[in-house]
Structure 1
């Protein structure tokens, strides 16, 4: 099955909104052996949408459309579908009930405009929207499948996970080829170093494919295998994974899409440990990521943002002489911050961050991107030096990731020694 992706919205054309939907959908379809042959972006223009639908139908079996399903005047995708298929809109009572419940949960009144979203093309099977008000559409016409979904990413993802992927998976079974993918997430090692450590990839993969997907948080390794059945595919993936772990296992923090904060949370919860965090340069971002995980109250006690020297002294009991001698961005201060937040909170572990994110604040001996991360428990109190880049926001993100990774390694007893 070949797929064509159409993203609709003026905001995508002018760069006001980044089109993350196409990446998500493309990856999800490839996971079930559907080949994406082309994708396009069109504005909120009826003729443009109709033209793109015709083009897509001429070369693809599956046309996936996102965007333009809202209740306002510029949301014209539904009208385009009606005109393209020469059909009409009919009220769907299940969709209307979904809309009523959506507004009731939020203590809001359904307006006539909102209720109009329960009108769907007569030829379409509605795709229920559990996260918003605009239903999706599943249309099968002349041997083609048309899937229409909202452009709001989390609404689209909900429809993909709950309805679209299960239905398409069932339809694509039994084509003689099973494609399986595995994601291994690494951090703390640059892409080039990771590539070198893995050695001869042809020998490692034996016909499988591997993609390196770098970001400011690390490098994802995506391994893809094709086999005659699922058991063979899974066995090959496991074999390749073990070879990779033998070479770079210390840097792999997750299998699949589990986040680093989820990994850490699971370890802390399993061991009954508690943590507190003192942040300077990261401004609370480490705490934010930890508390993104449901159930983090079991192990996260408190976070303190001590941006000024005075706050470090007052709240964390950092020694004024240490600040004067070594400066706020130093190994010594990072250690005292970690020790201070642990003592103040009574937790098992204390973590700290202090650094120069830039573009100002650097000195000859302390450049932009210099960060120290402290760690303290009942047996060890230490700090590690990092040198990141010149971009302030990227430095903050990298420092946050480094702090979480330092915590993971301490918890698992992974040495920094090569």
Structure 2
């Protein structure tokens, strides 16, 4: 089963919006066993969009559209698709009622163009919009499957998960066994090194399949299998997970799709441990990773962004002669990282204190090179662990890698490694 994703919107072509929808949908369709062969981006133009629909219909079995279903005149997706398929458009009563309720609830009059958001294509299945107003559509015409979704990710993702995916399972994959997947999450190792460790499994894969995905600071292995039931799938997935875990026990931190900071928070919460952090070159990035997670306050008590030497001295009592003067190690040093981690732990009153200090760039600092970073972990009743990192990349990459490396080192420490 081949699919093509067609993203509609001139703003995508102009680079004003990043097409994250295509990434999400490609991953979701792959998990269903549907191969995405093409991704197309087309502007808000009737002729070019119609050409894109005809081209995709000739080479794909499933066409997924995102965008172009809002209230304005340049929202053309449903209109063009209906014309190409020889279908009419109509106002879906439930979708229209949703639009009416929205404007009545706000106490403002509805402009006539908002009726366009309730348009549906004849012979299709309207897909309700849980987080917006524009109704989606799913239909089968002349051996092809068409799914129309909104452009904003906050509307598109819930509609795909709760409306489009069940429709696809019922209408598109009727003769297929369902696909079950497990996400194995790794930290502290790069994609190429991990792939080398698993190369024989990846090259020999048949069932289950093994596929790596990387993003900054972590790697995911998706293990997938077709099975008649969840129990049958678990037998095969468990066996493959055990094989992979045996090869990489010091890097595999979870078998569910979650960031390492979530794993750490859950582990610390189960042990009744608390955490604080002092950040210099990362400027609060590490703390943001923790506090973005619901329930993090049970573990993460607080932290300090001590960017300047003055703040390091005033807020965390780092000795002046450690930071400045002839022969001083400087702010970017193992000595300073150690004091920062220890002092933030004592100041906030937590079981564990973390610190990051370094040179994120673009220029050197204290005559030290870009990418030189020191991280430290101070634990109540234990010696403080300090690590020197020599990171590559731009400022943003160095900051992210420093934070992720510290998270990995903390996870290893909690594991006893």
Query: Does residue 61 in structure 1 map to residue 61 in structure 2?
Result: yes
Going from structure 1 to structure 2, the CA distance change for 1:108 and 1:84 (only over 3 Å counts) comes to farther
Query: Does residue 377 in structure 1 map to residue 379 in structure 2?
Result: yes
User: Structure 1 stretches of 5 or more lacking a match?
Assistant: none
Quick check: 394-403 or 115-124, which moved more?
115-124
Deviation, 1:293, is 0.7
Going from structure 1 to structure 2, the CA distance change for 1:377 and 1:68 (only over 3 Å counts) comes to same
Work out whether residues 368 and 390 of structure 1, in 8 Å CA contact, stay in contact via their aligned partners in 2.
no
Going from structure 1 to structure 2, the CA distance change for 1:176 and 1:9 (only over 3 Å counts) comes to closer
TM-score by length of 1: 0.89
Correspondence for 2:400: 397
State the distance in 2 between where 1:110 and 1:146 align.
33
Going from structure 1 to structure 2, the CA distance change for 1:30 and 1:411 (only over 3 Å counts) comes to same
Going from structure 1 to structure 2, the CA distance change for 1:87 and 1:227 (only over 3 Å counts) comes to closer
Correspondence for 1:266: 266
Correspondence for 1:111: 110
Correspondence for 2:45: 45
State the distance in 1 between where 2:114 and 2:315 align.
51
Deviation, 1:357, is 0.5
State the Cα RMSD in Å: 2.6
State the distance in 2 between where 1:110 and 1:299 align.
47
Query: Does residue 279 in structure 1 map to residue 273 in structure 2?
Result: no
Going from structure 1 to structure 2, the CA distance change for 1:195 and 1:233 (only over 3 Å counts) comes to same
Going from structure 1 to structure 2, the CA distance change for 1:328 and 1:212 (only over 3 Å counts) comes to same
Quick check: 78-87 or 239-248, which moved more?
78-87
Query: Does residue 72 in structure 1 map to residue 72 in structure 2?
Result: yes
Deviation, 1:115, is 4.8
Work out whether residues 183 and 255 of structure 1, in 8 Å CA contact, stay in contact via their aligned partners in 2.
yes
State the distance in 2 between where 1:97 and 1:330 align.
63
Consecutive aligned runs of 4 or more in structure 1 exceeding 4 Å deviation: 100-105, 202-208, 226-232
Quick check: 24-33 or 187-196, which moved more?
187-196
Work out whether residues 284 and 305 of structure 2, in 8 Å CA contact, stay in contact via their aligned partners in 1.
yes
Work out whether residues 98 and 130 of structure 1, in 8 Å CA contact, stay in contact via their aligned partners in 2.
no
Structure 2 residue matching 1:24: 3-state secondary structure = helix
Work out whether residues 204 and 243 of structure 1, in 8 Å CA contact, stay in contact via their aligned partners in 2.
no
Structure 1 residue matching 2:360: 3-state secondary structure = coil
State the distance in 2 between where 1:205 and 1:379 align.
47
Deviation, 1:208, is 4.4
Structure 2 residue matching 1:249: 3-state secondary structure = coil
State the distance in 2 between where 1:259 and 1:104 align.
41
Deviation, 1:159, is 0.8
User: Structure 2 stretches of 5 or more lacking a match?
Assistant: none
Deviation, 1:369, is 0.6
Correspondence for 2:120: 120
Correspondence for 1:239: 239
Deviation, 1:103, is 6.1
**What count of residue pairs does the alignment treat as equivalent?**
412
Correspondence for 1:18: 18
Going from structure 1 to structure 2, the CA distance change for 1:103 and 1:342 (only over 3 Å counts) comes to farther
Correspondence for 2:370: 368
